[in-house]
Chains A and B, each alone.
Chain A
């Protein structure tokens, strides 16, 4: 007999998930609606004469409601990424891949695409039949409608994404009048294409083959982590799965050693990643809980207790208890809270200004007619606030020095988010200096216009150079 060799690649088997009703389905739908509402409506929310959430790339600033994030604040981004990472560890240790099942974009969008598919082509069995049929006018029409609807959702998703980077209303106008700038068109096109492919065509393959999270989540699991699992001891008992017999009471079944699973296969049909949860925990499972809903429906109709498939932990499956408050979880929680606290504190107490000093090194020093030495500096005052502010600059720390700000601008106003550069000249008689380099500092203070009082200040050190020959 010829030897059979197995290929490296298995052909893709299309998954036809069946619709299901129940607690987890409702939860998923609710989360989906909230997430979609936020994603699709947020660009139209206004805040103080501008878009509430705006990633202004040319202006190099992000707006998040009342908060303006300047490039200097990039450290916040690392804070945010850190928080996201810890939060992920936290929920994964606590409840496995729940992020996948309920919040992941891939899940959210595939869910809607599946919903469209079902509305157009019908339920699971009708879709299976339709795909086996030869091409007919009816089939072509259904497929056509489905793909156009998919594309429409994908396009709306792509366009909405670009709305976060420019004034949403204006950009819509540009799209509708075919005047949209090339980068916007390109981004919207790319997002449309990827949404269509990922959520429509690739679907569960993204979760099983592409998503890196599926690969490393195992590292965060332990025996107390909540997972979706089938209870084999109850489902199989000593006699294995048994279809129901008419008139047989539950107690009789149990006494006869028949398992509670009636082998109806509903849990397999509803699974969006196409796995059989009864075979034990599998990495493809996104813990969406739909099989729980499915099995609970069956259990209810049979008059069996619910929970044959349920959220449980390995410990509990083996007859123990689930310990939710484990040291690891508490550790993650503490780190998470601390990181959130630090970030919040940093944002709440951010300085709304800063001062930068650059020595003009060309020339390093200037000999003045009266024999004094002059050094020139460039001072840049950054106004990070979202309103015009007034600043006063001064220098201190060099005894017997005289200074002047170019144009006499000791006080000036700076527009929101802008900066102002002024030159400062400092004169010192070399006899008053101790060495060729002397440290001193410049100071910029924000002044409250009506009262003239200082409200905030920023200092920067500088160096005064004198050549040895004049000392």
Chain B
């Protein structure tokens, strides 16, 4: 036999059809051991953890392990109390307080400033912006002191819980273009806008404003300062929700406006609403 026998591949010794032999290529030892180890691992795993389906149920495993139970446990009140005692205590306190009293507690406001930011980011920021600055013409600025429906804690809470429906009727069918321009001129003069510079038109607009045909005063008040009960904006201040240019005011008068704040009463918990109320109040405009 040749001397390099060692390097030749062995056959299993089986032969078919006289000359057909089968090579013997055994697996490396380490591979075999890894395989045995995985078998052992699997068996141990079946015993310890839930593994085999059994009709309607499954084998439970001796460790009695359940991810769902663990999650529930981690989220339970007791776990919260133990893991985040300060948070638990703060929430507990908040559940017994009104937003107005929360605002007066500096410790709780520390908590509100941080957890409120998260709540606001999740729920309110898509419309009102992450800093509550709003979008002119679409969503009101919550950081300024102008409030359509009032800025006391109680008002803010009501707005969050029930939502709001703002409605400015269109006047394009009742008033002529010229009349609408006159009303816009009058309103611009109330707010001190520079473009309201035609005293004649201002006087005419004033008449229409207070007249029965348009009856603007019914919502915006005799002095034009608005009515919070109706969500009618103050026309004498520097804030224009739909923009303060002459064209924007004319557009509002002609076509009317529709504002909708959805209600969050059934989407947030009582505590979350209180935290949000205090947070929105502290953005800068609360009364």
Task: Please report A residues at the B interface, Cβ cutoff 8 Å.
Answer: 360-363, 366-371, 374, 376, 378, 406-409, 412, 420-423, 425
Contact = CB atoms under 8 A, between A and B. Distances in A.
Given A363-B143, A366-B144, A371-B238, A420 B106 contact: yes
B8 to A, nearest CB: 36
B260 to A, nearest CB: 23
B286 to A, nearest CB: 9
A369 B110 contact: no
B113 interface: yes
Nearest to B105: A407
Contacts of B234: 369
Contacts of A407: 103-106, 109, 282
A420 B131 contact: no
A366 B143 contact: yes
Contacts of B104: 407-408
A412 B237 CA distance: 35
B238 A409 contact: no
B239 interface: yes
A200 B106 CA distance: 58
B141 interface: yes
Closest 6 CB pairs of A and B: A362-B131, A369-B237, A363-B133, A371-B238, A412-B106, A409-B106
| Chain B, interface SS category | loop
Which of A366, A371, A374, A408 gathers the greatest number of chain B CB atoms within 10 Å? A366
Given A369-B144, A406-B282, A420-B107, 20 more contacts: A362-B131, A363-B132, A366-B133, A366-B141, A366-B144, A367-B238, A368-B144, A368-B145, A368-B146, A369-B146, A369-B237, A369-B238, A371-B238, A374-B144, A376-B284, A406-B109, A407-B103, A407-B105, A409-B106, A423-B284
Given A362-B130, A406-B282, A407-B104, A369 B145 contact: yes
Contacts of B110: 420-421
B238 A368 contact: yes
Contacts of A370: 237-238
23 contacts: A360-B131, A363-B132, A366-B143, A366-B144, A366-B284, A367-B144, A367-B238, A367-B239, A368-B144, A368-B239, A371-B237, A371-B238, A374-B143, A406-B103, A406-B109, A407-B109, A408-B104, A409-B106, A420-B106, A421-B113, A422-B106, A423-B113, A425-B284
B106 A363 contact: no
A422 B103 CA distance: 11
Nearest to B238: A371
B265 interface: no
A415 to B, nearest CB: 9
Interface residues of B, number: 26
B50 interface: no
B221 interface: no
B172 interface: no
B237 A422 contact: no
A187 B228 CA distance: 64
B129 interface: yes
Contact of B133 (A362, A369, A408, A425): A362
Contact of B284 (A361, A369, A374): A374
Contacts of A423: 113, 282, 284
A406 B108 CA distance: 12
Which of B129, B130, B131 gathers the greatest number of chain A CB atoms within 10 Å? B131
Interface string B258-284: 000000000000000000000000111
Contacts of B105: 407
Interface in B228-264: 234, 237-239
A362 B128 CA distance: 11
Contacts of B239: 367-369
Interface in B24-38: none
Contacts of B282: 406-407, 423
Contacts of A363: 129, 131-133, 141, 143
Contacts of B237: 369-371
Contacts of A368: 144-146, 238-239
Contacts of A371: 237-238
A433 B110 CA distance: 32
Nearest to B192: A371
Contacts of B109: 406-407, 409, 422
A170 to B, nearest CB: 16
A412 B285 CA distance: 22
A82 B106 CA distance: 42
A18 B282 CA distance: 77
Nearest to A411: B106
Contacts of B131: 360-363
Nearest to B278: A407
Contacts of B133: 362-363, 366
Contacts of B283: 376
B167 to A, nearest CB: 22
Contacts of A376: 143, 283-284
Contacts of B146: 368-369
A69 B109 CA distance: 27
A370 B238 CA distance: 6
Contacts of A425: 284
Which of B132, B237, B283, B284 gathers the greatest number of chain A CB atoms within 10 Å? B284
Contacts of A408: 104
A406 to B, nearest CB: 5
